[in-house]
């Protein structure tokens, strides 16, 4: 694709294994992985892709993606260069490609409270915003003020918190694949840096004890049905330790599927679908997967 390579201010990688671009560490060869360095490059990129009807997908840190096939014949778009971070009092403005975990640590150092819940979430700020990532009774909706989005007409529009229509592990943007989050504004609270770090350390110790962090995974697989803990449903059906190829339901936490070393995307998908089918049959509950299949 000669014209793709002519777009200025963009890093282009060809025939790249996305294994190191996702937390599941599943191998898949993408034809192109591109990294626009500014909004202008991104606009030119989308204009080209749409004009040529080329398949594409915007990715963050890959913390909720499962590449099912061995190849992705299209263009993956990374926002790694949108990684700026600035503070104005208790207001924090962050590029969509910035690491959410890093942001949590940096704001803690500054004595800004509100993002303690995010210290163990390995996603990008943009991806976490789209999916309303959360933990410990808090989530992105509690701290986000507004978001700048590149629209399908290539204009940048600012959405307020209310317009994003946040709900459990979801937002308006989750259903608008052609809207691209560029920047997020947070409003935090002044606090004690020492106390914030203590809370984060306590939560880290809990995660280490209760989650299989020594293996590649994409975190919790399913959303909790209202009033229930999904891990108990999976546990009661005997799935603890269940394996399909290199994918396994964790022995530590049954709402985690781990890559024991050689899992394929198909292994993981098969195991997820098997659990969903069993829970539907036994409890008549449709489990919602928090992770996304890329096929």
Maximum C-alpha span of the chain: 56
CA distance 83 to 23: 19
212-294: CATH topology: 3.90.78
Task: Give residue 10's pLDDT.
Answer: 97
**Residue 232 — φ and ψ, nearest 5°?**
-70, -35
Task: Give residue 53's pLDDT.
Answer: 95
pTM (2 d.p.): 0.93
Task: Give residue 215's pLDDT.
Answer: 97
Q: Which of 2, 51, 57 is nearest to 34 (CA)?
A: 57
Catalytic (active site) residue 113: no
Catalytic (active site) residue 217: no
Catalytic residue selected from 169, 183, 217, 250: 169
Catalytic residue selected from 99, 113, 220, 250: 220
Question: 85-195 and 212-294: same fold?
Answer: no
Catalytic residue selected from 99, 113, 170, 290: 290
Indicate the domain borders of the chain: 2-78, 85-195, 212-294
- Name which CATH class applies to 2-78: alpha beta
CA distance 235 to 214: 21
Catalytic (active site) residue 220: yes
Task: Give residue 196's pLDDT.
Answer: 97
The arrangement of secondary structure in 85-195, i.e. its CATH architecture, is: 2-Layer Sandwich (3.30)
Task: Give residue 177's pLDDT.
Answer: 86
Q: Taking the chain (295 residues) in consecutive chunks of 10 residues, what is each chunk's mean pLDDT? A: 89 96 97 97 96 95 96 97 97 98 97 96 96 94 98 97 95 94 98 96 91 95 94 98 98 98 97 98 97 95
Q: Which of 171, 190, 168, 195 is nearest to 181 (CA)?
A: 171
């Amino acid at each position: 694709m000669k014209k793709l390579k002519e777009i200025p201010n963009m890093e282009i990688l060809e025939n790249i294994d996305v294994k190191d671009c996702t937390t599941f560490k599943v191998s898949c060869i993408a034809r192109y992985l591109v990294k626009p360095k500014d909004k202008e490059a991104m606009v030119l990129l989308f204009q080209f892709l749409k004009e040529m009807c080329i398949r594409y997908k915007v990715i963050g840190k890959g913390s909720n993606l499962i590449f099912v096939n061995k190849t992705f014949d299209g263009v993956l778009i990374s926002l790694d260069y949108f990684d700026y971070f600035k503070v104005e009092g208790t207001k924090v403005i962050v590029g969509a490609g910035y690491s959410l975990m890093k942001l949590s640590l940096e704001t803690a150092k500054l004595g800004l409270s509100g993002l303690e819940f995010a210290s163990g979430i390995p996603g990008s700020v943009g991806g976490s915003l789209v999916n309303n990532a959360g933990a410990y009774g808090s989530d992105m909706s509690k701290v986000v003020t507004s978001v700048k989005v590149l629209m399908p007409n290539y204009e940048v529009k600012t959405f307020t918190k209310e317009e994003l229509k946040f709900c459990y592990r979801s937002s308006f943007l989750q259903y608008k694949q052609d809207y691209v989050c560029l920047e997020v504004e947070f409003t935090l609270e002044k606090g004690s840096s020492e106390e914030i770090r203590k809370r984060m350390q306590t939560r880290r110790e809990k995660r280490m004890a209760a989650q299989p962090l020594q293996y590649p995974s994409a975190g919790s697989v399913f959303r909790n049905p209202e009033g229930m803990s999904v891990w108990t449903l999976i546990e009661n059906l005997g799935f603890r330790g269940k394996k399909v190829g290199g994918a396994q339901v964790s022995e530590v936490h049954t709402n985690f599927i781990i890559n024991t070393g050689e899992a394929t995307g198909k292994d993981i998908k098969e195991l997820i679908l098997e659990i969903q089918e069993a829970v539907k049959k036994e409890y008549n509950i449709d489990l919602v997967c928090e992770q996304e299949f890329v096929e």
